[in-house]
Chain A
Amino acid sequence: MIAYALQQLINGITLGMVYGLIAVGYTMVYGIIGMINFAHGDVFMVGAYVGIIVLTAFSGMGIAAVPVGLLVALLVSVALCGVYGFTIERAAYRPLRGSFRLAPLISAIGMSILLENFVQTSQGAKDRAIPEPIPGGFTIMQQHGFVVQMSYMQIAIIVTTLVTLGIFTYIVTKTPLGRAMRAIEQDAKMAALLGVNTNRVISLTFVIGSALAAVAGIMFLSYYGVINFFIGFNAGIKAFTAAVLGGIGSLPGAVLGGLLIGLIESFWSGYATIAYKDVAVYSILAIVLMFMPTGLLGRADIEKV
């Protein structure tokens, strides 16, 4: 049934966009300093929380214009998550740069645990919910009584992601900052010798990555309406999986991986059992990597002998 498949496609793309945005943050950090920023998923969670707090503050002040509220929430969240990303890098990763490879990984895991429990203890372990910010949608087609719906929220998410990715691509490809980032990715030592301020660029990478996670957090909040302190873990792992699936270090790969994982989840839930959707995602990851050890778009790792 085409209609049903179409609906899964729409849902999958929406979800995939959220994953893709988070995955870009993973892949950026990986590309530039070669570490897995395990706390990235939790920055996404912080972003969602900041969003719900701003929206609550708005409704507390009696301002009813939801789209304005969402926009402000988005901006505040982007700014604060940027601060989070900056601080995390300075406090937990920079002192470990250039040392043992596993040390930053453990530090990042510690940071992830810290953030989760910080939010849990400060905001409580309960699920927090908001009413649907932009209700409604339009019908794309009808078939045998099955209605294919695309909600305004889904459109908003897809548009926001594309705009965000557009701005991001512009930064990476056209600005001096982007050039410096790519230079460090190629050869950090050489870039430093040529006058690139490595520390500043790495800090900014974290800020930008965290800002993207904040956008994803706001979209998650407004799409699902319910968040808790633990959403960062699951979304983080999925996004990391997406980044690896696409080929870690590759920016288009991250988006592609995110979309694929969104689609796998949505189609698996739609056609097979929802319980095993994550198993399906992870199994497909393992199978893809068996045949393409550096992911779909990752650079093949030629052994220099």
Chain B
Amino acid sequence: MTALLEVRDLVMRFGGLTAVSRLSFTAVRGEITAVIGPNGAGKTTVFNCITGFYRPSEGEITIHREDQSTLALHRLPGFAIAKRGRVARTFQNIRLFGGMTVLENLMVAQHNRLQAATGFTLLAVLGLGRYRHVEAEALERAKYWLDATGLTKRADEPAASLPYGAQRRLEIARAMCTDPVLLCLDEPAAGLNPRESEELNALLLKIRAAGCSLLLIEHDMGVVMKISDHIIVLDHGKKIADGTPAEIRTNPAVIAAYLGEGDDDDLDVPVAAQ
């Protein structure tokens, strides 16, 4: 069991508001780690800190690579977290390149690998260099993820014209095309019907099996309890519990947090779990 992502004493303040206070947790390599908590608990803020959309007010976020070296994510500019840290993410409100086709979305995701083969674009414009070869590889990878997400038939359709569930899957496929070590999913099951939700579970397990660790924020406890290896519960920006699904289910602090302020959606969580 080796740590992949280590968050230590993370603090995020917006003006006078402290959204996340002194949060520490570890995501283990090869596991699915879930971050749950009532609305406004600071889950998305944590995500945005990890993936570089916010710069943390305090604290450290570290990626432990397989070769024992580490990378401090909180010091990197946003895009470099994906490029050098190999952390990919999806968004709560889906962000696809709507006017581009499904396949194009997956090719854009492989930008850095492809760009490196273009000889500062100059050679590739002239049709020289090894770009053609690398592009064929990228296309294969895109096809693999199209297949894995069941989007092959829709590959040439504009992303904005896909139905909602397919858009969610495409966002995951696109993130996977960056070849990440850690995939961060922000409410991947939101708005999915039960069947789609099941398919999503299968997809996430498949991603884990392929060697990519996952960090997810989720409201849908069906998804969380079934597939997570490790759950972190936040409330008011603080960690109130940390453990396996079984431990979380019976944790009194978690139940209190959900019963105390959760809306109807959240209420059934501990109940269902009992």
Q: Which residue of A lies closest to B92 (CB)?
A: A305
Q: How far is the CA of A304 from the CA of B44 in the complex (A)?
A: 11
Minimum C-beta distance from B135 to chain A (A) = 30
Minimum C-beta distance from A230 to chain B (A) = 40
Q: Which residue of B lies closest to A303 (CB)?
A: B53
Contacts of A303 in B (CB 8 A): 53
- Is B48 engaged at the interface, CB distance under 8 Å to the other chain? yes
Q: Mark B34-70, 1 if CB is under 8 A from A, else 0.
A: 0000000000100010000100000000000000000
Q: Which residue of A lies closest to B54 (CB)?
A: A305
SS class, residues of chain A in contact with chain B: loop
- Is B25 engaged at the interface, CB distance under 8 Å to the other chain? no
Q: How far is the CA of A303 from the CA of B44 in the complex (A)?
A: 13
Residues 80-101 of B contacting A (Cβ, < 8 Å): 91-93
Contacts of B53 in A (CB 8 A): 303, 305
Interface size class of B (residues with CB under 8 A): under 10
Q: How many residues of chain A get a CB closer than 8 Å to chain B's CBs?
A: 3
Minimum C-beta distance from B29 to chain A (A) = 26
Minimum C-beta distance from A35 to chain B (A) = 22
Minimum C-beta distance from A301 to chain B (A) = 14
Q: How far is the CA of A169 from the CA of B54 in the complex (A)?
A: 37
Contacts of A304 in B (CB 8 A): 93
Q: Which residue of A lies closest to B89 (CB)?
A: A305
Q: Mark A279-305, 1 if CB is under 8 A from B, else 0.
A: 000000000000000000000000111
Contacts of B91 in A (CB 8 A): 305
Q: Which residue of B lies closest to A304 (CB)?
A: B93
Minimum C-beta distance from A302 to chain B (A) = 8
Contacts of A305 in B (CB 8 A): 44, 48, 53, 91-92
Contacts of B92 in A (CB 8 A): 305
Contacts of B44 in A (CB 8 A): 305
Q: How far is the CA of A304 from the CA of B48 in the complex (A)?
A: 10
Minimum C-beta distance from A45 to chain B (A) = 39
Q: How far is the CA of A305 from the CA of B48 in the complex (A)?
A: 8
Q: How far is the CA of A304 from the CA of B91 in the complex (A)?
A: 10
Q: Which residue of B lies closest to A302 (CB)?
A: B14
Minimum C-beta distance from A117 to chain B (A) = 36
Contacts of B48 in A (CB 8 A): 305
Q: How far is the CA of A304 from the CA of B53 in the complex (A)?
A: 9
Q: Which residue of A lies closest to B53 (CB)?
A: A305
Minimum C-beta distance from A125 to chain B (A) = 45
Q: How far is the CA of A76 from the CA of B53 in the complex (A)?
A: 53
Q: Which residue of A lies closest to B14 (CB)?
A: A302
Q: Which residue of A lies closest to B91 (CB)?
A: A305
Q: How far is the CA of A305 from the CA of B184 in the complex (A)?
A: 13
Residues 249-305 of A contacting B (Cβ, < 8 Å): 303-305
Q: How far is the CA of A305 from the CA of B44 in the complex (A)?
A: 9
Q: How far is the CA of A59 from the CA of B108 in the complex (A)?
A: 70
Q: How far is the CA of A305 from the CA of B92 in the complex (A)?
A: 8
Q: Mark A9-23, 1 if CB is under 8 A from B, else 0.
A: 000000000000000
Minimum C-beta distance from B194 to chain A (A) = 28
Q: How far is the CA of A303 from the CA of B92 in the complex (A)?
A: 14
Q: How far is the CA of A115 from the CA of B16 in the complex (A)?
A: 50
Minimum C-beta distance from B220 to chain A (A) = 20
Residues 198-234 of A contacting B (Cβ, < 8 Å): none
Minimum C-beta distance from A1 to chain B (A) = 45
Q: How far is the CA of A295 from the CA of B44 in the complex (A)?
A: 29
Residues 184-236 of B contacting A (Cβ, < 8 Å): none
Minimum C-beta distance from B65 to chain A (A) = 26
Minimum C-beta distance from A101 to chain B (A) = 14
Q: How far is the CA of A178 from the CA of B92 in the complex (A)?
A: 35
Q: Mark B2-42, 1 if CB is under 8 A from A, else 0.
A: 00000000000000000000000000000000000000000
Q: How far is the CA of A304 from the CA of B92 in the complex (A)?
A: 10
Q: How far is the CA of A303 from the CA of B48 in the complex (A)?
A: 11
Q: How far is the CA of A181 from the CA of B136 in the complex (A)?
A: 55
Q: How far is the CA of A303 from the CA of B91 in the complex (A)?
A: 13
Q: Mark B146-176, 1 if CB is under 8 A from A, else 0.
A: 0000000000000000000000000000000
Minimum C-beta distance from A100 to chain B (A) = 12
Contacts of B93 in A (CB 8 A): 304
A residues whose Cβ falls under 8 Å from a Cβ of B: 303-305
Interchain Cβ contacts under 8 Å between A and B, 7 examples:
A303-B53, A304-B93, A305-B44, A305-B48, A305-B53, A305-B91, A305-B92
B residues whose Cβ falls under 8 Å from a Cβ of A: 44, 48, 53, 91-93
- Nearest 7 pairs of A and B residues by beta carbon: A305-B53, A305-B48, A305-B91, A303-B53, A305-B44, A305-B92, A304-B93
